Amino acid sequence: MDNQSRTLLDQAIGLNFDEDQKDVSSPRNGQVILVEDCVETSGAFLIHHLLKRALSPRSSSLVIFLAFAQPFSHYDRILRKMGCNLSAQRDNKKFIFFDLLMFQCPAGGAKFNEDGVLELYGKIQKAIEMNVSTNGKRTITVMIDDVCLMEVAANGSTDCVLDFLHYCHTLTVEFGCHLALLTHKDIYSDVERPTFILQMKYLADVVIKTEPLATGLATDVHGQLTVLNKDKGSGSMKQGISYFHYRVKENCIECSYPGTMTC
């Protein structure tokens, strides 16, 4: 991704993972970023982008990754193309990977129920506390790919998943952690009152939507992004909305304002 593309998207998100640009003397609560995609335009590339940004070589940040969608090898292969070695990051204790694919296989005996939720949250909290005690003020990001599959693992119990997300949300206040989530809006398109996704949007400070182009397919543009950034400062609840076209490449993504992207 070139500097202009990176600046457009990262400024719209308003999230800075780089510790060398952060005023650690004035810590603030971490942000919750919700990526909402659809069948036509997968948002997985945004999770990859956020993951790479969180593991910036200029910082000692920690990422705790909850994988319900893919095995470690999948993310490692993609991030290597983007110039980030997840295996090395894991060995350096900067990347903690929870492989939760087993919850998709009932025959395996794994259950993501209330007890499972508390157990998983306990492991995350313990990992954070250990790193905070060892490394002090360290930027920590918890990422979940993806929330819809977490709901599947919970046998459709939205209450169970929402409880877990609320637990994780407390980490943004207690430890200043960032939280990044991926969900799919198509799954709730037939629901009259999609309480689950509305709850996630309520928790989110930033909502990034991936959608196909309103004008149809284009060879040089893969879709459009809508970034809703809630400004909760001063109690005013102002909202900033940004619109971008994007193109996904093998090792990066390119973003631009509508009508300005060239081949």
pLDDT in tens, 116-173: 888 899 999 999 998 887 776 778 999 999 999 998 888 888 899 999 999 999 999 8
Q: Are 179 and 30 in contact (CB under 8 A)?
A: yes
Q: pTM for this structure?
A: 0.87
Q: What is the mean pLDDT of residues 34-41?
A: 94
* pLDDT tens per residue across span 159-209: 999 999 999 999 998 999 999 999 998 887 776 657 888 899 999 999 999
pLDDT at 30 over 70: yes
Distance CA 42, CA 210 (A): 7
Alpha helices, DSSP H only, in the chain?
Answer: 3-13, 44-54, 72-81, 86-91, 114-135, 147-153, 158-174, 195-203
Residue 263 pLDDT: 47
Which of 15-29, 48-62, 96-110, 165-179 is predicted most confidently?
165-179
Span between the terminal Cα atoms of the chain, in Å: 14
Q: Is the peptide bond before 146 cis (omega within 30 degrees of 0)?
A: yes
Q: What percent of the chain has pLDDT over 70?
A: 80
37 compared with 221, residue with greater pLDDT: 37
For 153, other C-beta atoms within 10 Å of its C-beta total 24
The answer to whether 95 and 86 have CB atoms below 8 angstroms apart is yes
* Selected residue with higher pLDDT from 107 and 241: 241
Q: What is the SS3 assignment for 207-227?
A: EEEEECCCCCCCCCCCEEEEE
DSSP 241: E
Q: Is the pLDDT of residue 98 over 90?
A: yes
Tokens (6 digits) for 163: 């409880």
pLDDT tens profile 56-78: 877 678 999 999 999 999 999 99
Domains and their CATH numbers in the chain = 3-13+28-256 (3.40.50.300)
DSSP annotation of 202:
H
Instruction: Write the CB contacts of 94 (distance below 8 Å, at least 6 apart in sequence).
Output: 55, 60, 61, 62, 63
Answer yes or no: is pLDDT of 28 > 90: no
Asked if residues 34 and 200 have their Cβ atoms less than 8 Å apart, the reply is: yes
Mean pLDDT of 40-59: 90
